[in-house]
Structure 1
Protein backbone atom coordinates (compact mmCIF):
# COMPACT_ATOMS: atom_id res chain seq x y z
CA UNK A 1 0.00 0.00 0.00
CA UNK A 2 1.42 3.42 -0.93
CA UNK A 3 1.92 6.02 1.76
CA UNK A 4 1.95 9.78 1.26
CA UNK A 5 4.50 11.53 3.47
CA UNK A 6 4.43 15.31 3.66
CA UNK A 7 7.06 17.26 5.60
CA UNK A 8 6.99 20.77 7.01
CA UNK A 9 9.10 22.07 4.10
CA UNK A 10 6.32 21.26 1.65
CA UNK A 11 7.95 18.17 0.14
CA UNK A 12 5.76 15.17 -0.50
CA UNK A 13 6.85 11.57 -1.07
CA UNK A 14 4.67 8.66 -2.14
CA UNK A 15 6.17 5.25 -1.48
CA UNK A 16 5.41 1.73 -0.39
CA UNK A 17 9.09 1.01 0.32
CA UNK A 18 9.83 0.63 4.01
CA UNK A 19 13.42 1.83 3.66
CA UNK A 20 12.34 5.03 1.93
CA UNK A 21 9.73 5.73 4.59
CA UNK A 22 12.19 5.07 7.44
CA UNK A 23 14.75 7.45 5.89
CA UNK A 24 12.16 10.24 5.86
CA UNK A 25 11.35 9.96 9.56
CA UNK A 26 12.81 12.43 12.03
CA UNK A 27 13.11 10.12 15.02
CA UNK A 28 13.94 11.23 18.57
CA UNK A 29 13.04 8.22 20.74
CA UNK A 30 16.05 5.89 21.32
CA UNK A 31 14.13 2.67 20.63
CA UNK A 32 12.67 4.13 17.45
CA UNK A 33 16.17 5.15 16.36
CA UNK A 34 17.23 1.52 16.74
CA UNK A 35 14.41 0.47 14.43
CA UNK A 36 15.49 3.05 11.84
CA UNK A 37 19.09 1.81 12.09
CA UNK A 38 17.91 -1.77 11.62
CA UNK A 39 16.01 -0.76 8.48
CA UNK A 40 19.04 1.10 7.09
CA UNK A 41 21.31 -1.90 7.76
CA UNK A 42 18.89 -4.30 6.11
CA UNK A 43 18.58 -2.04 3.06
CA UNK A 44 22.35 -1.65 2.68
CA UNK A 45 23.18 -5.33 3.23
CA UNK A 46 20.30 -7.08 1.49
CA UNK A 47 18.36 -4.42 -0.40
CA UNK A 48 14.98 -5.78 0.65
CA UNK A 49 12.98 -6.82 3.71
CA UNK A 50 13.24 -3.59 5.70
CA UNK A 51 9.61 -3.62 6.78
CA UNK A 52 9.87 -7.23 7.89
CA UNK A 53 12.98 -6.72 10.05
CA UNK A 54 11.43 -3.65 11.68
CA UNK A 55 8.32 -5.67 12.53
CA UNK A 56 10.45 -8.52 13.94
CA UNK A 57 12.51 -6.07 16.00
CA UNK A 58 9.34 -4.41 17.27
CA UNK A 59 8.07 -7.78 18.51
CA UNK A 60 11.40 -8.52 20.23
CA UNK A 61 11.36 -5.10 21.93
CA UNK A 62 7.76 -5.62 23.01
CA UNK A 63 8.62 -8.99 24.56
CA UNK A 64 11.76 -7.59 26.21
CA UNK A 65 9.72 -4.79 27.76
CA UNK A 66 7.76 -7.34 29.78
CA UNK A 67 10.99 -8.71 31.29
CA UNK A 68 12.30 -5.22 32.02
CA UNK A 69 9.05 -4.29 33.75
CA UNK A 70 9.35 -7.46 35.86
CA UNK A 71 12.86 -6.39 36.91
CA UNK A 72 14.72 -9.14 35.06
CA UNK A 73 18.21 -7.95 34.18
CA UNK A 74 19.40 -8.61 30.64
CA UNK A 75 22.48 -10.50 31.86
CA UNK A 76 20.49 -12.81 34.13
CA UNK A 77 20.34 -15.53 31.49
CA UNK A 78 23.94 -15.42 30.25
Structure 2
Protein backbone atom coordinates (compact mmCIF):
# COMPACT_ATOMS: atom_id res chain seq x y z
CA UNK A 1 0.00 0.00 0.00
CA UNK A 2 1.05 3.58 -0.57
CA UNK A 3 -0.50 6.97 0.01
CA UNK A 4 -1.19 9.88 -2.32
CA UNK A 5 1.56 11.81 -0.51
CA UNK A 6 4.05 9.24 -1.80
CA UNK A 7 2.85 9.83 -5.37
CA UNK A 8 2.42 13.61 -5.31
CA UNK A 9 5.34 15.91 -4.57
CA UNK A 10 4.35 19.56 -3.97
CA UNK A 11 6.10 22.00 -6.29
CA UNK A 12 5.92 25.64 -7.43
CA UNK A 13 2.35 25.01 -8.67
CA UNK A 14 1.16 24.43 -5.11
CA UNK A 15 -1.09 27.25 -3.82
CA UNK A 16 -1.86 27.54 -0.12
CA UNK A 17 -5.54 27.40 0.82
CA UNK A 18 -5.20 30.78 2.56
CA UNK A 19 -4.74 32.38 -0.88
CA UNK A 20 -7.93 30.80 -2.31
CA UNK A 21 -11.45 32.21 -2.09
CA UNK A 22 -14.35 30.01 -3.24
CA UNK A 23 -17.07 32.01 -4.99
CA UNK A 24 -19.62 29.46 -6.19
CA UNK A 25 -20.18 25.90 -7.30
CA UNK A 26 -19.87 25.35 -11.05
CA UNK A 27 -20.74 21.67 -11.30
CA UNK A 28 -19.68 18.09 -10.89
CA UNK A 29 -16.42 16.94 -12.44
CA UNK A 30 -15.23 13.39 -12.96
CA UNK A 31 -13.52 13.32 -9.54
CA UNK A 32 -15.56 15.77 -7.49
CA UNK A 33 -17.03 19.26 -7.46
CA UNK A 34 -15.66 22.17 -9.48
CA UNK A 35 -15.90 25.68 -8.06
CA UNK A 36 -15.28 29.20 -9.33
CA UNK A 37 -12.78 30.98 -7.15
CA UNK A 38 -10.12 33.62 -6.78
CA UNK A 39 -6.44 32.97 -6.16
CA UNK A 40 -4.35 35.72 -4.61
CA UNK A 41 -0.84 36.38 -5.88
CA UNK A 42 -0.65 33.91 -8.79
CA UNK A 43 0.39 36.47 -11.40
CA UNK A 44 1.45 39.44 -9.28
CA UNK A 45 1.65 40.11 -5.56
CA UNK A 46 -1.72 41.32 -4.24
CA UNK A 47 -3.50 40.60 -7.54
CA UNK A 48 -6.46 38.20 -7.69
CA UNK A 49 -6.86 35.72 -10.56
CA UNK A 50 -10.15 34.04 -11.43
CA UNK A 51 -9.72 30.25 -11.23
CA UNK A 52 -11.59 26.97 -11.44
CA UNK A 53 -11.03 24.80 -8.37
CA UNK A 54 -11.22 21.08 -9.05
CA UNK A 55 -11.72 18.89 -6.01
CA UNK A 56 -11.59 15.19 -5.30
CA UNK A 57 -14.50 13.54 -3.51
CA UNK A 58 -13.84 12.68 0.16
CA UNK A 59 -15.00 9.11 -0.54
CA UNK A 60 -12.66 8.67 -3.52
CA UNK A 61 -10.56 5.54 -3.61
CA UNK A 62 -6.77 5.74 -3.56
CA UNK A 63 -6.77 4.92 -7.29
CA UNK A 64 -9.16 7.83 -7.99
CA UNK A 65 -7.01 10.19 -5.91
CA UNK A 66 -3.90 9.16 -7.84
CA UNK A 67 -5.73 9.64 -11.17
CA UNK A 68 -6.81 13.10 -9.96
CA UNK A 69 -3.19 14.00 -9.19
CA UNK A 70 -2.03 12.56 -12.53
CA UNK A 71 -4.57 14.74 -14.33
CA UNK A 72 -3.26 17.79 -12.45
CA UNK A 73 0.30 16.89 -13.49
CA UNK A 74 -0.75 16.69 -17.14
CA UNK A 75 -2.50 20.07 -16.91
CA UNK A 76 0.73 21.66 -15.64
CA UNK A 77 2.25 21.07 -19.08
CA UNK A 78 -0.51 23.02 -20.92
CA UNK A 79 0.68 26.23 -22.53
CA UNK A 80 -2.60 28.13 -22.54
CA UNK A 81 -3.58 31.20 -20.53
CA UNK A 82 -6.95 29.56 -19.76
CA UNK A 83 -5.31 26.68 -17.87
Larger Rg: 1
Fold similarity call, TM over 0.5: no
Greater strand content: 2
Question: Larger relative contact order (C-alpha < 8 A, sep ≥ 6)?
Answer: 2
- TM-score by structure 1 length? 0.30
